Structure 1
Amino acid sequence: MRRSNVRSANRKRNGNMDAMKLQFRQSTPHRLNLFPRNSKQTFPTSSRLNIVIYASVAISAALFCYVFYKAMGDWSSEKRKFGIVIDGGSTGTRVHVFDYVVKAGVSEFNFRDKGLVSMRVNPGLSSYADDPDKAGRSLERLIEFGKKIVPEELWGETEVRLMATAGLRMLNLSVQDRILDSCRRILRSSTFKFQDSWASVITGTDEGIYAWVVANYALGVLGGDPSNTTGIIELGGASAQVTFVSSEPMPPEFSHVVKVGNASYNLYSHSLLHYGQNVAFDILQESLGSTHSQSVTRTTTQTERVNDPCTPKGYVHLKAPSGSSTQNSIHPAGNFSECRSAALTLLQKGKEECVYQHCHIGSTFTPKLEGSFLATENFFHTSKFFGLNSKGRYISDMMRAGKKFCEDDWLNLRSMYHTLDEEDLMRYCFSSAYIVAFLHDSLGIAMDDERITIANQVRDIPLDWALGAFILQNTQDHPSWINIYVMSDSSRLIAFLIIFVLLMAGAWSLSKWRKPQVKTIYDLEKGKYIISRVNRYS
């Protein structure tokens, strides 16, 4: 009986434990169920979300491929373009109309044939100093000329820029602003693409750098080894510029780094305002009446007389120098050596104020000249008049030709060059002497130095600083394919990019929303981890 009772008790105990085990097993699926909904409810929802995500990614990828294809097509296609630069010089205003193509994101220029056409009007913008409001009207003929060259459908995308030089730099700022404002009004109404900041007075340094750029572009060395470049010396009407690659340490105000492609050039560039040929001649004429002038010899008679060594004998001056305080008469002396000395005195004025190691002209720092040089503008025009070779012993040839001209009789000269304006003809005596004083006596270039080449163009490309400005504006920063597309069709690209971003953001949000939020708990009773889902909104 006792054993039977024990067995019975054991059976009851075992039965209760089995019931507990069974109850535990029945509750286990509930505790381990990660998703309270049955699989029939969950599966379709998950599939739909996956379809939406995949569709969003596919559409975004398709849009991106389309944009890329269009951009690459625009990048590799050839597009014809035009550009206009107006050079506001001291003696006249000239418009340059450029016809070029952009291919594979790179501008290709043709400054020969019809790739560059120009037109000039006189006088220069600085002549409107007394009536600045009329300056803009002088541009009207130039604008109409540009419209004849640029197809009408391209007017709205063709940029026009006005860059004024030494003539305006010599005026006070208020007059400069009034002249520029007058020009801006005309340019804004031109139907060409224009911004007010595109009409400005450029520095003489920039003018020199632009001239250096076009010179080396024409020589085919721009973008290459700096040691293979050629310097440039310009002699304009109101200023002169000297620009070249220098290896010498320079004060920061004279050192300028220009980057073209992968090449970097450390340039010395400086503009010598008031040292242009025409202004220097005017200063010399004014100094003739000064008792302190070191450039002339004065002989006082009953009517005060001033000797002018830079004018051939026999020439009759129509007016007395403005610097004279009494009624003077000028006596043409026609002496090349004295004219050269007078020119050198002008070039060395202020040299005593030099604070640098080298001051070849006035108080301006000038490093030692390195490499070969092109001499342009009035160097070229004077050489052409005298029929000198562009290469060789240029300075010594100029000195001989100038000496012969200055010391000849005016009547004989007038007969030989009867087609020229008399005042223009007379000035060649000063021009020749000034060039020798500038290159040899000031810059220290030897008389027989063959590094100097006189040129107004190289390989049929004009050595005009405006071309250099245009080259730098279009080649310094080569845009990538995406920038090309942005510039050519920005509104469409922006719309595609917005859609692309929205679709990708939507796909990311959906993927985050459908991902369950879970927590992991270690069950001590079972000795294992249990994963359960957490309501994301709780």
Structure 2
Amino acid sequence: MKPTMPLLLLVLLNVAGQSQAQIKNSILDLTNSIRSILPSLSRPANHSRIFYAVMFDAGSTGTRIHVYTFIQSVSEKLPVLDNEMFHSIKPGLSAYADSPEMGGHTVRMLLKVAKKTVPRLEWKRTPVVLRATAGLRLLATEKAQALLDQVQHVFDESPFLVPDNSVSIMNGTNEGILAWISLNFLTGHLNAQTKKTVGILDLGGGSTQITFLPKQRKTIESVPVADYVARFDMFNSTFELYTYSYLGNGLMAARLATLGALGAEGLEWRVFKSSCLPKKFRDEWSFGGLTYHVSGDPDGYSGYKLCYQEVLKVVKGFIHQPYELEDSNVFYAFSYYFDRAVDAGLIDGVQGGMLEVRDFKKRAKEVCNKMTKYALISPFLCLDMTYITCLLKDGFGFKESTVLQLTKKVNNVEASWALGATLDHFYNLKIH
């Protein structure tokens, strides 16, 4: 019996990558913490069936597993999301581009979470699905496919239900749409008569997404290409969204682009310098399976103004500014928007909070002009905060007074596209 459309969904937990030396510790940490479960939502007293789903989010900086428990009530048409078990491991699958078997091994380790969460009798009825995002989109096709083939092999060996198309690279547009569906379900804004919705800003490692429901027709009519408009069917209604996924404008990819290292050769001997980094800083930094030598500019100047000029080259001319932004939606910002706001001391790491765009700008100036003070938190904090400021202002075109809701969870559920992808698997939302 197929369940009908549930009412709750979720957001992305994006975390910075680790070096190869930390992989074994990550796996040990995973094994030791499998028993930790996020707080359950209230369980209906009367229920006829409990069912489960397993969704893997293979991001550029980590692989995450979401194990969902749904309850189909006798008296309710809509199932309820009762519980989410979440765990992540670093680095992401793309770090294993040259050793796909090791990438498959990390997925095999994460499947232990599913085995601990889903009752054994339900394993053969519980679908397991993996969707990869920008990390694999940025890889050469043959390397990405080798990783997907390894994951497919691990799934086929598992005791779970392996549906058709269970392992694939997700379309960037779908990533934004499914996150939008998730956040609007969780905030109670999605129904057939909806007049007010929330927009989403998702900043991953390799890509970034903006999605909202326009109120003005001109927003749809003024897009540069048709790819900025997407439609999906739900509640016998068709939603028409402004949405776009910018590959290469995620936070980690933007670091590389700012440093001039994106797609560069000679990585074994080249040192990539930036005025966004502390003058005396010099280290190795890894992303997407490659290691880069990075440093500040010991003989030059550093600080916010010079850093802004560097990151502006990564943003200006690449990001389209929608016709309407300010009056149409409240925007929820998550993933690295949230993480860096926490690192910079702008919001609480549990509660999140409301921030104006100018708050990012003000703190970016402070961090960049006092790099030594903030270097212990992260030597990249100046670059990251400046990039976020530039992306919001000169990229998307938000006013400095625009208020954003920085969030990690909504109603105790991780906010991300992953639950939206689970629902799409069950119910076919007809995204086009």
Q: Which residue of 1 aligns with 2:274?
A: 308
Corresponding residue for residue 339 of structure 1? 307
- Give unmatched runs, 5+ long, in structure 2: 1-45, 265-269, 287-293
CA contact (8 A) 2:178 2:417 kept: yes
Secondary structure at the aligned position of 1:232 is classed as strand
- Give the structure 1 partner of residue 180 of structure 2: 212
Aligned twin of 1:444: 397
- Which residue identity is paired with 1:368? E
Match of 2:97 among 129, 133, 147: 129
Q: In the alignment, which residue of structure 2 is the partner of 1:382? A: 340
Q: Shift of residue 107 of structure 1? A: 4.6
TM-score (norm: length of structure 2): 0.76
Tell me which amino acid in the other structure corresponds to 1:330. D
Change (3 A) 1:227 1:280: same
Q: 2:71 is matched with which residue?
A: 101
CA deviations on 1:470-498 (whole Å, 9 max, x unpaired) are 23334567xxxxxxxxxxxxxxxxxxxxx
Residue 132 of structure 1: how far off its partner (Å): 2.3
Equivalent AA in structure 1 for residue 278 of structure 2: P
User: How far apart in 2 are the matches of 1:216 and 1:238?
Assistant: 24
TM-score (norm 1): 0.62
- Matched to 1:201, the amino acid is I
Deviations 1:79-132 (A, max 9, x none): 110100011111111111001112358452336xxx001111222111111122
Superposition map of 1:188-337 within 5 A: 188-246=156-214, 247=217, 248=219, 249=221, 250=223, 251-286=225-260, 308-313=274-279, 315-318=280-283, 330-331=297-298, 333-337=301-305
Q: What do residues 119-159 of structure 1 show as CA deviations (whole Å, max 9, x unaligned)?
A: 11222111111122332111111111210110000000000
Count of aligned residue pairs for this structure pair: 358
> C-alpha root-mean-square deviation of aligned residues, in Å?
2.9
Q: Tell me the amino acid that sits aligned with residue 407 of structure 2.
A: A
Inter-CA distance 232–213: structure 2 relative to 1 (3 Å threshold): same
> Equivalent of 1:433, from 379, 386, 391?
386
Q: Is the 8 A contact 1:380 1:455 kept in 2?
A: yes
Which entry has the higher C-alpha Rg, 1 or 2? 1
Per-residue Cα deviation, 1:206-255 (whole angstroms, up to 9, x for no partner): 11111101110110111244431111011111000011112332543222
Q: Is the 8 A contact 2:47 2:71 kept in 1?
A: no
Equivalent-residue separation in structure 1 for 2:158 and 2:354 (angstroms): 47
Partner of 1:490: none
Asked whether 1:110 is paired with 2:81, we answer yes
Provide closer, same or farther for how the CA distance between residues 229 and 318 of structure 1 changes in structure 2, counting only shifts above 3 A.
same
Contact 2:55 2:128 in 1 (8 A): yes
How big is each residue's C-alpha offset from its partner over 1:285-307, in whole Å with a ceiling of 9 and x where there is no partner?
2369x9xxxxxxxxxxxxx9986
The residue type paired with residue 374 of structure 2 is L
Question: Aligned to 2:297, what secondary structure does the other structure show?
Answer: strand
The separation in 2 between residues aligned to 1:261 and 1:80, in whole angstroms, is: 23
Structure 1, unpaired ranges of 5+: 1-75, 291-303, 322-326, 352-360, 478-538
Q: What residue in structure 1 maps to residue 425 of structure 2?
A: 473
Greater share of helix:
1
* Higher relative contact order (Cα pairs below 8 Å, separated by 6+ residues): 2
Per the alignment, do residues 319 and 90 of structure 1 end up closer, same or farther by CA in structure 2, a change over 3 Å counting? closer
The alpha-carbon deviation at position 365 of structure 1 amounts to 7.2
245-254 vs 374-383, greater mean Cα deviation: 245-254
CA distance in 2, matches of 1:182, 1:433: 38
Given that 1:125 and 1:167 are in contact with CA atoms closer than 8 Å, whether structure 2 keeps it comes out as: yes
In structure 2, what is the equivalent of residue 173 of structure 1?
141
Q: How has the CA–CA distance of structure 1 residues 476 and 101 changed in structure 2, closer, same or farther, with 3 Å as cutoff?
A: farther
